[in-house]
């Protein structure tokens, strides 16, 4: 399936799906993929390998790796239980420092709960602010907070500096979403899952009155009356009665990792599927990404599809994968053959894929590496080189062969 031609594949998949139940479809699909998946045209995507970035350090369920927002060339590694460790970005690094430890605040009852994300303020060098998103108990909820680095130690956060910006009630333990990102517009974006259970039992995906199953956008440098942040003037549902004005896009089941293309500013989001389809989306202002009417580019609930619903740019079926982990468009300098390739993977199968998206369509897609580790997240170093955190406890660097 490495060099399969995507458009042909999609057409065939649609034909196969039409009029076939799921088990039969899955078997046919599996045979199709085994047979080479219609390999026709290209071989432009390189194979890649994973090189241990910090071989002397093992982390406990590392969920994210974030480059220091200054010239210090450090890496910050988020551990699910509630710690952020800091370490020089060097294969010789041995003992990480504890930048933040909020394990006493973080809920980890469910496999998908924990400290899920870290993002540094664009003005970190002068204000020292960073933001975290985590699950918490009593009541069960997720929390978006701001902290500040210590005034005397750049490797230590000030534990007393927490300012809670937003709390969202969570009905179940799974589907917390959880990527925090500053956009090129200087505003903070956060992905929130549909609240959990299975199949979106409360219909949060299509409900603009809740922040669940959304990507939101807020201004953390100002505050509106009664809020710890401001609603940016351009937010699409700001004036819509009954809608939460924070919402940027909706109909998203459980976006597990999103990223901005550092060259184009495009927002890429990987949405984890229910039982059948994993998907990659390009997020636009006000867009409805379909959940729970659609799973990937396929019907989920028998609800009429409205005209403005946005399909993923690509999806893939189970058992090709079972839980997508969104990555990055490669904009580093080391590997010209990866330039402009969106790199993503699957948490369960460990497969890493790449695709090119040009002029509104996927023009190339293929497997870059099949490997056994559970990929919890992709990250970028300060130069746009791709990093990964895996649940074998290690941080890896992705290299083209």
Binding site residues, Ca ion, CB under 5 A: 289-290
Smallest separation, CB 6 to Ca ion (Å): 18
Smallest separation, CB 275 to Ca ion (Å): 14
- Closest CB to Ca ion among 177 and 290? 290
Smallest separation, CB 213 to Ca ion (Å): 10
Extract the tokens encoding 313: 């740019």
- Closest CB to Ca ion among 106 and 213? 213
Q: Burial, 151: exposed, middle or buried (Cβ in 10 Å; 0-12, 13-18, 19+)?
A: exposed
Smallest separation, CB 296 to Ca ion (Å): 6
Smallest separation, CB 205 to Ca ion (Å): 9
- Closest CB to Ca ion among 248 and 289? 289
Q: Which residue is nearest to Ca ion (CB)?
A: 290
Question: Residue 312, Cβ neighbours under 10 Å: how many?
Answer: 22
Q: Burial, 12: exposed, middle or buried (Cβ in 10 Å; 0-12, 13-18, 19+)?
A: middle
**Across the beta sheet with 62-67, what order do the strands follow?**
62-67, 74-79, 83-88, 97-101
- Closest CB to Ca ion among 17 and 102? 17
Sign of CA dihedral 320, 325, 331, 333: negative
- Closest CB to Ca ion among 145 and 254? 254
- Closest CB to Ca ion among 272 and 386? 272
Smallest separation, CB 206 to Ca ion (Å): 11
Smallest separation, CB 289 to Ca ion (Å): 4
Smallest separation, CB 4 to Ca ion (Å): 22
- Closest CB to Ca ion among 178 and 290? 290
Smallest separation, CB 255 to Ca ion (Å): 10
Residues sharing a CB contact under 8 Å with residue 167, sequence separation 6 or more, in sequence order: 136, 141, 142, 143, 144
SS (H, E, C) 221-278: CCCCCCCCCECCCCCCCCCCCCCCCCEEEECCCCEEEEEECCCCCCEEEEECCCCCEE
Alpha-carbon gap, residue 262 to 129, rounded angstroms: 21
Buried b (16+ CB within 10 A) or exposed e, 222-255: eeeeeeebbbbeebbbeeeeebbbbbbbbbbbbb
- Closest CB to Ca ion among 89 and 254? 254
Alpha-carbon gap, residue 67 to 382, rounded angstroms: 6
Q: CA nearest 235: which of 255, 215, 221?
A: 215
Residues sharing a CB contact under 8 Å with residue 263, sequence separation 6 or more, in sequence order: 329, 331
Alpha-carbon gap, residue 180 to 129, rounded angstroms: 13
């Amino acid at each position: 399936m490495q060099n399969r031609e995507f458009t042909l594949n999609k057409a065939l998949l649609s034909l196969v799906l039409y009029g076939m139940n799921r088990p039969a479809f899955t078997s046919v699909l599996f045979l199709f993929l085994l047979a080479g998946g219609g390999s026709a045209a290209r071989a432009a995507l390189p194979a890649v390998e994973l090189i241990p970035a910090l071989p002397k350090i093992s982390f406990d369920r590392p969920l994210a790796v974030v480059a220091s927002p200054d010239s210090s060339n450090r890496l910050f590694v988020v551990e699910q239980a509630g710690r952020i460790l800091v370490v020089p970005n060097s294969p010789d690094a041995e003992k990480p420092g504890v930048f933040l430890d909020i394990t006493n605040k973080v809920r980890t009852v469910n496999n998908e709960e924990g400290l899920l994300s870290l993002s540094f303020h664009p003005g970190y060098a002068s204000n020292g602010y960073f933001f975290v998103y985590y699950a918490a108990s009593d009541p069960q909820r997720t929390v978006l907070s701001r902290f500040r680095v210590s005034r005397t130690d750049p490797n230590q956060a000030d534990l007393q500096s927490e300012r809670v910006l937003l709390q969202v009630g969570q009905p179940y333990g799974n589907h917390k979403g959880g990527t925090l990102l500053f956009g090129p517009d200087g505003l903070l974006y956060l992905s929130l899952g549909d609240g959990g259970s299975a199949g979106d039992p409360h219909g949060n995906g299509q409900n603009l009155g809740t922040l669940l199953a959304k990507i939101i956008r807020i201004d953390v440098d100002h505050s509106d009356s009664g809020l710890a942040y401001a609603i940016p003037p351009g937010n699409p549902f700001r004036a819509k009665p009954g809608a939460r004005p924070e919402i940027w896009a909706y109909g998203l089941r459980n976006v597990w990792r999103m990223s901005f293309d550092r060259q184009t500013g495009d927002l890429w989001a990987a949405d984890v599927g229910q039982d059948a389809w994993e998907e990659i989306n390009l997020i636009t202002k006000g867009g409805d990404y379909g959940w729970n009417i659609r799973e990937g580019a396929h019907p989920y609930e028998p609800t009429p599809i409205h005209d403005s619903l946005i399909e993923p740019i690509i999806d893939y079926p189970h058992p090709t994968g079972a839980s997508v982990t969104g990555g990055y468009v490669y904009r580093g300098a080391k590997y010209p053959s990866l330039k402009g390739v969106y790199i993503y993977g699957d948490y369960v199968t460990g497969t890493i894929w790449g695709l090119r998206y040009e002029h509104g369509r996927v023009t190339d897609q293929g497997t870059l590496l099949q490997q056994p580790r559970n990929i919890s997240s992709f990250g970028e170093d300060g130069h746009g080189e791709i990093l990964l955190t895996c649940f074998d406890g290690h941080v890896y660097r992705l290299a083209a062969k």
